[in-house]
Structure 1
Amino acid sequence: MDRVIKQPLEALKEYFGFDGFLDAQEEVVGKILTGKDGLVVMPTGGGKSLCYQLPALCLRGVTLVVSPLIALMKDQVDALVAKGIPATMINSTLSLSEQRERISRMRAGDYKLVYVAPERFKAESFVRALEDVDVALFAVDEAHCLSQWGHDFRPDYMRLGKALERVGRPQCVALTATATPVVREDILKVLDLRDPFEVVSGFARPNLSLMITAVSKHDQKYKRIREVVKRWKTGIVYCATRKRVDEVSEMLHDWGVSCIAYHGGMSDDMREKTQNVFINKEADVAVATNAFGMGIDRSDVRFVIHFEVPGSVEAYYQEAGRAGRDGEAAYCELLFNYADTRTQEFFIEGVNPSYATICGVYQYLLNQADSDFEVHQTMEQIKDGADVKNGMAVGSALVALIRHGLIERFDVAGSRVKGTRLLKPDVLTSRIGIDREALEEKERRDSSKLGAMVELCYARMCRQQWIMEYFGEADAAACGSCDVCRSKFGDDASEGSDAQVLVLRKALSGVARMSRKVRGKWEGRFGRGRIVQMLVGSKSQEVKKNQLDTLSTYGILKSEGTAYLNELFHAMHDAGLIYTQKGEYPLVSLTPRGESVMLGKANCTLVWPNANKEESATTADEGVELSEVGFDPELFERLKQLRFDIAKAENVPAYAVFPNKTLEYFTRLRPKSIEAGRQIRGVGEAKADRYLAQFLAVIKTYG
């Protein structure tokens, strides 16, 4: 019997009213109809849902769709039913009798698509019932939730591999909007896909203007929000915490903007009602935590603002991608202040409890359990009793213990407190069997993701291009519409001459020689100043003591000089070729992109330093860091006052004139001419023509 009962173009026209496919959709649908398992990575707004909905209408049998959010399921099912497509959903909002009735109708072939929450697969009765259903296709939506290295890992997704086996191992396709190569590999492994096809369509969203704006104070953030809302009207403001959501939404209300506030602390009913207000266009702006937006289908979102830096590039790009789903121009702005990373670090600590924390929580539960092996205490009580500093870490520790079958959580009759039941009370804390190395590795990866997000904020290469390469898309073109592409600093970037590229590759080789590669990742051992000393052949005691004069790269860039190389290292950092570890010891290492350029496997655009070494931006002695050049706080304050006066007169933020770092360079290096001032980082041609002479005058009169 032929499993394909309808041709895709016929179904596309009949049910969706489209005469043709969007980019990559036709390829994906065609591959699914061949019967092969597959992995599909398609950007937000690229029509990912159609890739499994259309085959469901073309195949004999039912398509199961695993979806992580109840609101997302409801929206999709409502939209399908409105088109005359037999679809339904099964999740925790239904009674047992309703679930049984829908499963019975699945067996009878009444539905073509059934959306299922991943936690349903915990129930043995549900999995057993599915064994009698003719499942044509098993579609896993938001598949990045499968990977603990993904940005939204959900333990319930880990059961899907076994569930596939239980229902007869039907054809399976996994779909997601954001997945790095590592996450894609994890998805294939967890689902054990058979000889799968992989379609990774272009991540680029050419209709989005990606802007990252450096801000130092909250009033600057509110000013930018007001300007963006006034110009773009409809959009989303993402905040890191519930408290911030309330503050920003109240501010918008005070401005007369119709908006909603949405966060995970609201009840399920309230979240659904609030979300529907925005989807139905009864409010112009949504102020929300990252709990909002997965599957939000409002096409006229014209802007997305991030009030704080997100925890990963994946999260940032998925959230930014909720703007401009209609293909029209949209604006995305991240209001970046490095201090905001502390919030994300707190979250990382909270979702990655240490082995000691998990053991401490488990031991406390053992000590407090009653004769029924139950503990009736709030999370706060467990936190205090187990002496855990980060309250989030308690919840994460409990999840880890649940996942390992040591405890379960249950509702306590007549109380709002959830109880905790010990399932294996004879298991000692020393024998809980949790993989300590895996915990540490996940924490390291989450920290690395935050580090990559910060790198993107500081990078001076095209935002889209940087993101494309992060997701493994080589040789991506510059977008032309982000803040870097629009700035003169970005316009000056080029691939450079053969001679410049040779110098660049030698410099990267020097970084590699003074780093080490651990489990495929470069780790730095020295700072920039020491690496530059080695490259120019310095005979300093520090170079000799560390035996850097024995390296094959010692002195290979002596002809370039220290000043040029210091600027080249700044440019390499801005282009994402090297990474500088934050902290007391800023160690420098290669990025994957830097390694590719070093080996000649990839090209890159760079803002090349001026080769004129007589009056370069860095005039310190050989190998000396800029921080070691004299700093005069009084001159710095005079320059800040001048900047304030100019900014006030032009009604722009102070950083729009020159950022603090550029003022620090002015203070330390004291350029005497326009040409010397142009060499300082942060001074492009436009700013040099407009402001530089005034700052040089202050430096000159100061003496």
Structure 2
Amino acid sequence: MSEIVSEPVSGRVHEQQSKALHILETVFGYSSFRGQQAEIVQHVVQGGDALVLMPTGGGKSLCYQVPALVRDGVGVVVSPLIALMQDQVDALAEVGVRAAFLNSTQTFDEAMQIERRVRSGDLDVLYVAPERLMTPRCLDLLEAAHISLFAIDEAHCVSQWGHDFRPEYIKLSVLHERFPNVPRIALTATADQQTREEIIHRLQLEDARQFVSSFDRPNIRYQIVEKANGRKQLLDFIESEHPDDAGVVYCLSRKKVEETAEFLKQSGINALPYHAGMDYAKRTANQSRFLREDKIVMVATIAFGMGIDKPDVRFVAHLDLPKSIEGYYQETGRAGRDGLPANAWMAYGLQDVVQQRRMIAESEADETFKRVLGVKLDAMLGLCETLHCRRVRLLDYFGQHGQQACGNCDICLSPPVSFDGTLMAQKLLSTVYRVEQRFAAGHVLDVLRGIDGERVKQWRHDQLSVFGIGSEYGEAEWRAVLRQVIALGLLTVDHENYSSLKLTEEAKPVLRGEQKIQLRQYQKPVKPKRTSSKSNYTETDLSTEEQTLFDKLRWWRVETARKHNVPAYVIFHDATMREIAKAKPSSLDDLRGVTGVGEKKLETYGTEIIALIQEISE
């Protein structure tokens, strides 16, 4: 009897798998799923709930877009990114998917038209902001429609401990209560174990299957440098490694965003500012230019970036220390979505540590939350000050243990010189103790180095036994030591008492000589030598003829995107055009086999591309 029952079930599964693969090939232009995509798609198609953790650029969107097309009804995508919904809808329209969005940017008549399409079953995918979704009108609309699935994008926004918390996300548990038979898939690129547990609890996904991909982004090179003159170091980095590339520069404050963007612009870099305090129209226009044009550097606060689909961002730079490894991973992950080499660069100094500690101390959060923020910041400092592979440290944070050194971060490529720093640490800790733990870093280092300034004399600290015991080293060297000692948890910064340095319990065994510590030797910042940005792309090198065709295709794409009013990558990714340039298809059938060319794009652009290839070949 069991065999008779299993046959139709097995047949239905096979039919669903075939349909999903057919949609992947004909709609999206890919011949096969990557990694866990096939398993996730099949699970959701069969009605299962899922929590998907997949790195930026790993193909999360296909995990809900394909099931939405396989299953009957409209797939509802909950997204916090109102500013990007239009681009996401345009990208789906380009491949022939009936998509729309509902958000506050629309007029009443526009929203009514979309609502009618939802009710009549005339849509495949609907994007909606969580605030809009929670309104009685929208919930009633969805109950009157046939829903294929709910996709909760950027699911880490539900975490109160996280870096992108959105209060409205907590209310999304209503989906499970009001639509118990509709599968839900929650997706994020960034979640440590605590955040994962919170997503599961708050979205009532206790029975959901978890799919956790590797957090490794091997194409990204991580580099953290000692901050001397941050803006000048940034300019040197861009000019030497990315003179003609798109990139994102993150700053902590709006003022610094404006100043840095202007500095880069004056230095010949095509830079634009972005922060929440800007005029909405100007901010939106800058974002649109970044997405639609090449070679633009966006200088922004963390208000910019989540959900950015631009595949050819070649670098992400930080001029200020991120608050957590989750934030750092999320932001750096916006580089190299196309899988090609990219850089994650950061300039970091003692003031960053002091500033972040002050922000935590002065926040209105309760003590429990402050402790969590402190632990996350400590982990970020550990990444900055590590003597070992940064990628291993990063993956270890997300629970991916036992990894080998990557050979592609600054630590691996140029291993730091470590030394027994016990004596230097003891001198520093003793000085903090002798000035009664009442003074900030600058004063402590002056005493340590024997700088008898007015303030040192005023407090008669030039009479202390520790005065000048570190005079053989300069301020930069001692600041590097101080930063590492803070990262090791031997000192803390008391922001309730003028940012004074205080000893911790962990400092006692070091002071008594019972514990030795290893430190990284200070290295003076050097200006990077200018290299060709093309040197990063050896695995995609094209012949002279292929490069000519690729360049022609890029110009064609720019003009086509302008006519369609969409970002260039929505037409075709660079990877697709490289493949076209190498394959030189002479017919529509030949072009059909190229990755990223689905039936709709073949129908829309195929004839133009073949004609362009023939024109160059003649």
Match of 2:352, SS state, is helix
Residue number in structure 2 paired with 1:588: 506
State the one-letter code of the partner of 2:162. G
CA contact (8 A) 2:246 2:294 kept: no
Deviates more, 1:289-298 or 1:57-66: 289-298
CA distance in 2, matches of 1:186, 1:198: 13
CA distance in 1, matches of 2:212, 2:528: 42
CA distance in 2, matches of 1:453, 1:265: 27
CA contact (8 A) 2:52 2:185 kept: yes
Residue number in structure 2 paired with 1:547: none
**Cα separation, partners in 2 of 1:57 and 1:576, compared to 1, 3 Å:** farther
What is the CA deviation profile of residues 490-536 of structure 1, one whole-angstrom value per residue up to 9, with x for unaligned ones?
899xxxxxxxxxxxxxxxxxxxxxxxxxxxxxxxxxxxxxxxxxxxx
**Cα separation, partners in 2 of 1:326 and 1:222, compared to 1, 3 Å:** closer
The answer to whether structure 1 residue 353 and structure 2 residue 364 are counterparts is yes
What is the CA deviation profile of residues 247-301 of structure 1, one whole-angstrom value per residue up to 9, with x for unaligned ones?
1111111111112111111233322211110111254211111111112122221
CA contact (8 A) 2:244 2:295 kept: no
CA distance in 1, matches of 2:340, 2:297: 18
What is the CA deviation profile of residues 113-135 of structure 1, one whole-angstrom value per residue up to 9, with x for unaligned ones?
10010001342222122211111
Larger RCO (alpha carbons 8 Å, 6+ apart)? 2
Residue number in structure 1 paired with 2:454: none
Residue number in structure 1 paired with 2:161: 149
Residue number in structure 1 paired with 2:392: 465
CA distance in 1, matches of 2:408, 2:375: 28
Residue number in structure 2 paired with 1:179: 191
Residue number in structure 2 paired with 1:510: none
CA contact (8 A) 2:290 2:298 kept: yes
Match of 1:99 among 111, 115, 126: 111
Residue number in structure 1 paired with 2:265: 253
Match of 2:381 among 454, 474, 478: 454
Residue number in structure 1 paired with 2:89: 77
The answer to whether structure 1 residue 477 and structure 2 residue 401 are counterparts is no
Alpha-carbon offset, residue 99 of structure 1: 2.4
What percentage of residue pairs aligned between the two structures are identical? 40
Match of 1:17, SS state, is coil
Alpha-carbon offset, residue 168 of structure 1: 4.3
Match of 1:44, SS state, is coil
The answer to whether structure 1 residue 23 and structure 2 residue 54 are counterparts is no
Residue number in structure 2 paired with 1:292: 304
**Where do 1:296-307 residues align within 5 Å?**
296-307=308-319
TM-align CA RMSD:
3.4
CA contact (8 A) 2:274 2:298 kept: yes
State the one-letter code of the partner of 1:159. K
Match of 2:46 among 16, 31, 34: 34
CA distance in 2, matches of 1:97, 1:444: 48
CA distance in 2, matches of 1:72, 1:322: 15
State the one-letter code of the partner of 2:138. F
Q: How many residues are matched?
A: 444
Match of 1:330 among 332, 335, 342: 342
CA distance in 2, matches of 1:453, 1:619: 23
**Cα separation, partners in 2 of 1:227 and 1:131, compared to 1, 3 Å:** same
CA contact (8 A) 2:157 2:165 kept: yes
The answer to whether structure 1 residue 440 and structure 2 residue 367 are counterparts is yes
Match of 1:302, SS state, is strand
CA contact (8 A) 1:232 1:302 kept: no
CA contact (8 A) 2:159 2:195 kept: yes
CA distance in 1, matches of 2:512, 2:410: 34
CA distance in 2, matches of 1:229, 1:283: 13
State the one-letter code of the partner of 1:480. G
CA contact (8 A) 1:12 1:54 kept: yes
Alpha-carbon offset, residue 61 of structure 1: 1.1
Match of 2:492, SS state, is coil
Residue number in structure 1 paired with 2:464: none
Residue number in structure 2 paired with 1:266: 278
What TM-score comes out, normalization by structure 2 length?
0.66
Match of 2:317, SS state, is strand
**Cα separation, partners in 2 of 1:256 and 1:34, compared to 1, 3 Å:** same
State the one-letter code of the partner of 2:173. G
State the one-letter code of the partner of 1:143. A
The answer to whether structure 1 residue 90 and structure 2 residue 89 are counterparts is no
Match of 1:16, SS state, is coil
State the one-letter code of the partner of 2:387. R
**Cα separation, partners in 2 of 1:207 and 1:218, compared to 1, 3 Å:** closer
Match of 1:116 among 128, 137, 150: 128
Match of 2:399, SS state, is coil
